[in-house]
Structure 1
Amino acid sequence: MAKVELTSGDILTLRTTALVCPAHKHLIRGRGLSAQVFDRGGDALVAACEQQPECPVGEARITRAYGLPVQYLLHTVTPQWSSGDQWGAGALVQLRRCYESVLKLARERKIKSLVFPALGAGTNRFPHSIAAHQALEVLHGQGKDFESLKVCLHTPAALAEWRQVERRFFPA
């Protein structure tokens, strides 16, 4: 059973089997981490993504990871945070579904080691504490099928927030 590991740094330098990438529904270059992945993957990644069907929010697709130190990219389209208004509950369900879909696809492809960013907490503006709770609930609940599940946060402050959520809601 994989222990969920929280770390911070440059996710694009980590070596594992698969990197989870926040995606646009047409699997085209987006903003933030998506833009960095496409910059490294170049034309080969663009061509691979063009072969994939549209990816609705909460679903996942897989491609090779051109130009990155991982074998695969697991693309998932995250919802937009709407500041906790009446649509906020739906966004939480969709964010949770992103993690579930990625893990389901990884199991189907027999991928045992994955690294995740803070899905939804970048350009889609989920507060880290909310994103962390959704992510950690799924990752801790489904970790038995994996050798390594890592969440790489962009800043030490985000890492501290995720660790606080983990200590409070998912004690060892």
Structure 2
Amino acid sequence: MITTLKGDITGLDFDMIVNPASSSLMPQPGLCSQIFSKAGKGLVDECISLKGCEMTQAKITKAYDLPSHFIVHVAMPVFIDSKEEESELLEACYWNALACAYGFVFAQKRKECTLAFPILGYEQGFDKRKACHIAVNTIQRLFREYPDAKIIHVIFVCDDQENYSYIKEELHYAFHG
């Protein structure tokens, strides 16, 4: 299942949220900084112990003082022109974040999980509309290729009206042609 809502991902209660992180897994401007600020010092300590993350790869931590339970940190590249090579990097970010979440859920023997994604990439310079297109298409493709991953309910949480409108359009097109 793939849905969307407009809101502040740091104030909502999901099993997991995705943090668009730097490869150091330390706070950076934007949503990442908000997540660290609201999660508290425990998150910084745990991220230091993880010793970073390769670009587009993902690691999971507890969510500490956030209402959600866990955070999937994905190491985001900086984008210049949103062309094909960068599109593939953005796809890899979604793919690896969902794979990390699935591995965790599977290891915990859970029957389902909610995973909230912000719209990845646009804070790092990727075109918003194209980022929303990649978000929906990548998750759909992953669910088609790996049906077992559908135990994860993906929610795109949009922090602004523009992203929310783009995601709603993409979801409508994806499910209704």
TM > 0.5: yes
SS in 1 for 2:92: helix
In structure 1, what is the equivalent of residue 10 of structure 2?
12
1:97 maps to amino acid: A
Structure 1 residue 147: deviation in Å?
Answer: 4.1
Structure 2: stretches of 5+ with no match in the other structure? 106-111
4+ residue runs over 6 A deviation: none
In structure 2, what is the equivalent of residue 43 of structure 1?
41
- The size of the alignment, in residue pairs, is 165
Structure 1: stretches of 5+ with no match in the other structure? none
1:97 aligns with 2:92: yes
1:92-171 equivalences in 2 (<5 Å): 92-110=87-105, 112-122=113-123, 124-143=124-143, 144=147, 145=149, 146-168=151-173, 170-171=174-175
1:100 maps to amino acid: W
SS in 2 for 1:109: helix
SS in 1 for 2:28: coil
More helix per residue: 1 or 2? 2
Please report the RMSD computed on the Cα atoms of aligned residues, expressed in angstroms: 1.5
Structure 1 residue 30: deviation in Å?
Answer: 0.6
Structure 1 residue 42: deviation in Å?
Answer: 2.1
Q: 1:22 to 1:7 in 2, by over 3 A?
A: same
In structure 1, what is the equivalent of residue 68 of structure 2?
70
Task: Give per-residue Cα distances to partners, 1:36-73, cap 9 Å, x unaligned.
Answer: 01111222111100111321221001110011011110
Aligned residues of 2:23 and 2:76 also touching (Cα < 8 A):
no
State the TM-score, normalized to the length of structure 2. Answer: 0.86
1:24 aligns with 2:22: yes
Structure 1 residue 8: deviation in Å?
Answer: 0.8
State the TM-score, normalized to the length of structure 1. Answer: 0.89
2:6 maps to amino acid: S
